[in-house]
Amino acid sequence: MTTTTAVRTGRAAARAVRLSKVYGSGETRVVALDEVDVEFRQGEFTAIMGPSGSGKSTLMHCMAGLDSVSSGSATIGETELVGLRDKQLTQLRRDKIGFIFQAFNLLPTLNALENITLPMDIAGRKVDEAWLDAVVETVGLSGRLTHRPSQLSGGQQQRVACARALASRPEIVFADEPTGNLDSRSGAEILSFLRNSVRELGQTVVMVTHDPVAASYAERVVFLADGRIVDELADPTADAVLDRMRRFDAKGRTK
């Protein structure tokens, strides 16, 4: 097994150092994250893989400031999340973090464009029109901006959610199984979009998936098992990812 914690050159968009998350206590105590060290470099597309319950969502939530950490450190850019007050955390999430959920989480009464700009409208932030145009163009929504979610396919709705996550030009975008509710063709479009947002717009994307094909769109795959990072793979192909997954049991031990 290779070591997974090497710090490479290139500025970290986000970093976890000995990050632990424990849910419950006594008999219901669950160590969801066990001293995780990981770094996501700026302008890189990383996939996170691992068995169900291995801590993938918890890692994303802790790093995105959506859940508190039990110990260790989580930083976005230069900002340490641990110890931030609610107001500062809300501001950080709004300005520096984009999140894409499996269930698109769009507001049904707003059209696509209104959904995309909603977080910035709430924050009273001016939309950078040139950037917004680039995002809408990349995501392929130009002709659909006045449609409501109910008038859009699942794939189109997820594209709206992607555009919303990118609209504020965040430091990092976290996506938790973004293609989990999509057919394979719509899924492929979303994955291409995420890859293009990294290659063409310089964004940083971290995506949880359990699909080796989805992971192969990323430049790097980090494997979690039992709350720990157990391996990583650079320039993944679907076959290489599948091969790697077969060699681990649920605890991340090499079979």
Ligand X SMILES: Nc1ncnc2c1ncn2[C@@H]1O[C@H](COP(=O)(O)OP(=O)(O)O)[C@@H](O)[C@H]1O
- Using CB under 6 A, list all residues that contact ligand X: 23-24, 30, 32, 50, 52-58
Residue with smaller CB distance to ligand X, 29 or 185: 29
204 binds, among ligand X, Mg ion, none (CB under 5 to 8 A by kind): none
Residue with smaller CB distance to ligand X, 9 or 52: 52
Distance CA 253, CA 230 (A): 8
Window contacting Mg ion (CB under 5 A); options: 4-12, 56-64, 115-123, 239-247: 56-64
Q: Three-state SS across 64-80?
A: CCCCCCCEEEEEECCEE
1, 33, 57, 224, 226 from 53: Cα distances, Å: 21, 10, 9, 10, 7
Residue with smaller CB distance to ligand X, 23 or 200: 23
Smallest gap from residue 62 Cβ to ligand X (A): 9
Residue with smaller CB distance to ligand X, 163 or 224: 224
Phi, psi dihedral angles at 99 (to 5 degrees): -130, 135
Distance CA 51, CA 241 (A): 13
Distance CA 196, CA 179 (A): 16
140 binds, among ligand X, Mg ion, none (CB under 5 to 8 A by kind): none
52 binds, among Mg ion, ligand X, none (CB under 5 to 8 A by kind): ligand X
Q: Which uninterrupted H or E stretch holds 244?
A: helix 238-246
Question: Which of 4, 46, 57, 216 contacts Mg ion by CB under 5 A?
Answer: 57
Window contacting Mg ion (CB under 5 A); options: 51-59, 114-122, 229-237, 245-253: 51-59
Instruction: Specify which residues 16 forms β-bridges with.
Output: 38, 74
Instruction: State both tokens at 183.
Output: 């057919």
Residue with smaller CB distance to ligand X, 58 or 203: 58
Q: Catalog residues that contact Mg ion under the rule CB under 5 A.
A: 56-57
